[in-house]
Every structure is written in structure tokens, then in C-alpha cells.
A and B are shown apart, each in its own frame.
Chain A
Amino acid sequence: MIHELIELDRALFEAVNGLAGRSPWLDGLMRLLVNEYFVPVSMSLALLALWFSGANPHLRKTNQRAVLYAILAQGLSAAIVAANNGLYFRPRPFATLPVNLLYYWPTDSSFPSNPAAMAFTFALIIWLFNRRAGAGLLLLALLFSFARVYCGVHFPSDILGGAMVGVIAVLLATVTLKGIVEPLFRIAIGFARSFYLA
């Protein structure tokens, strides 16, 4: 069973990565999406916009809670990935297979995908509070993940692992830690509000 899953993972990787090098336009788009800047900055700017968004104070407060939860969940997600990397190392696809590499050679563990964990954490937590913004971010997370496989730096299972880390981080932030952080977030928003910043 595990052997079959590994084979499926490899076949999926080869199918997606095999698209690289065929269309300069698609390669250019994927090279734009794959790096540490384009999608992470766009998602973080969406959080900045969300902080100031809302037609009324109630909606705005919901958005601001979403932003604070997203920051918390992002910290948890990074901690989970770091802890996993200390215990388990999976080589990158280019280290074991012939690939069309459109990116540099990262040296950290391939599993779970840290960029996918970051992107899915942001997207899922925002989706819980604001469906429209969350759907947009989810689309961006999917594109980012696809680009990571397309450019040869992750297996599809790494992306799945990253998405799972995102789900765990979101659950930890919004369920397990809710009782502790919710009053703190209320105070933080109230404080910012008294200075006309929330």
C-alpha cells in the first residue's frame, strides 16, 4: 500500500514537472509564482487590507480577529514544520530523480512543504472568518503549490503534508487556544481602536 502511494506520488510529480520547458509563457508564470516573494507578500498584503476592511465596525472586528488568528496560526505552522524537520528529512525531488528544475536547490527537508503550510494556513484561517477573501487566498495557495511541483522542488505528497500542517495549525489556533487568545485579541483590538487604528 505504501509502496503504491509512493509510486503514485512519483507519477503525479513526473506528470506535473513534465509540463515544464514546453511553454515559455507557462514557465515564466510558474517561475514568478514559485519564489518566496510573490505569493507570501500578496497573501500578507491581503491581511493588511483585511485589517482596514469592513463596511461596519462589527465586520471590521471580525476581519481583525481573522488577521490576529492568522498571525498566531502562522507561528504554530512554522513551529510544526521546524519540529518535523528536526526529526525527519526527505530529500528533494531533484536529489533523487531527473527533473526539470526551474528553481534553485533548497537544502531543507522536502516534507512537509513549508511554503504550502504557510499558504494553506493563511487561506484556511481567513476562510473561516471571511469566505470571499478566504476563497481568493485558497486559489493563490493552490497555484503556489502547483508551481512548487511544476518547478521541481516538491513532491505532491509534500504539498499534501504542508496542507495538513496548515489544517492542524488552524485547529490549534481556533479551537485549542481560542479560550486563551480570544480575550487577548479583544484587548489588542480595543487598544488599537482607541488610537483609531482598528
Chain B
Amino acid sequence: MPVELAYVIFVTFSALGTLQLVAARYGLQGLFFFPARPRASSLAGLLTISVSYYWFFSSADRNVPGLEGAQLTFFFSLSCLLAISITLTIGSLVSRQPRSLRPPAQANPPGPSSAGLDALKRAGYFQLLRAPLRLPAARARRLFVYGWWNSLLGQGGPLPGAKEGKGKGR
């Protein structure tokens, strides 16, 4: 196996393990491979790091001319991006809830208190990215189906954009 490929595999798996350890330590559930099981995520992280180090250093003699400094930086960055992408994707997939159990999009809009990485404590990455996209669609539905139509008919329905109470299901 070429050293470049071995290095990418080694760093990617080590980074995956590192991310699981950090996610478990800080409760970033959106990054967990094992939902709501921080101990399992920690163990998986430690195991992944140990196995990848063992495999890389036992599979060939690493004290021979190999990658140059710039190549090491490039392949490390590439592998880290790959590991982050894999973690965000798997974390989003395993933290998905069945549609029937999902709260409405308006019920938990991402607010300033849960901005940034803190938002990953309660949802998967792609759910968070989709939340702002779902919000206008839900509002549009409300606008046309209930609010606007009712107000046009003068039947006293909720006005477009009117507050319906947080946490109330659709």
C-alpha cells in the first residue's frame, strides 16, 4: 500500500476516534455514532484511535524516507475534513427520529442560546442545517392553508405569521 494512502487511512480513523471522544466528553449528541450513549462513543473512539495507530506503525517500517512536510500537511487536512464529514453524516443519520416523533419545525427553532456547536447537543448536523429551510415552508403552509385563506373569508383564523404558541404540534 502506498504510504500516502496508508497515512490518509490512519489519520482519518484517528480523527474519527478523536471526534467521538470529544463528542462524548462535551455531550455533542449530534456527533455520536451511538445515540445517547456517551460511554459507548468514548470506548469506540479509544478503540478506533488505538487500532489505527497500531495498524499504521505495525504494517510497515515508518522510519524510512516517506512524505515531505507539505504532503503531510495536505494529507492531514484532507483526512480531517473527511473524518469531520463522516462524523457529521453518521451523527445526523443515527440521531434521526421517525417523522411521527419529530417536533414541529417551529417548536425548537435554533436560537442564540444554542447557536454554534452547542446546537449539536440536541440535534444532528443536517437536521440543524435543514431547520431554517423548513421554517419558511412551514410558515408558508400556515399562511396559505389556515391563515390567509381564513382571514380573506373573514372567519377569524390565525393571521399570517401570528404566534401559535411554542411547542404546540401541528
Q: Does B25 contact A (CB under 8 A)?
A: yes
Interchain CB contact under 8 A, B63 and A31: yes
A48-B80, A55-B26 are contacts. A35–B63 as well, Cβ < 8 Å? yes
Interchain CB contact under 8 A, A196 and B66: no
Binds B, one of A38-46, A126-134, A164-172, A175-183: A38-46
Interchain CB contact under 8 A, B69 and A48: no
Q: Does B159 contact A (CB under 8 A)?
A: no
Q: Which chain A positions have C-beta within 8 A of B119?
A: 196
Q: Which chain A positions have C-beta within 8 A of B15?
A: 45, 48
Interchain CB contact under 8 A, B69 and A37: no
User: How many of chain A's residues have a CB under 8 angstroms from any CB in B?
Assistant: 30
Q: Which chain A positions have C-beta within 8 A of B57?
A: 32, 37-38
Q: Which chain B positions have C-beta within 8 A of A32?
A: 57
Q: Mark A28-70, 1 if CB is under 8 A from B, else 0.
A: 0001101111101100110011001111010010000000000
The 5 closest A-B pairs by CB, nearest first: A193-B116, A52-B22, A35-B62, A45-B18, A49-B22
Chain B residues within 8 Å of A, Cβ to Cβ: 7, 10-11, 14-15, 18-19, 21-23, 25-26, 28, 31, 53, 56-57, 62-67, 69, 72, 76, 80, 84, 115-120, 125, 128-129
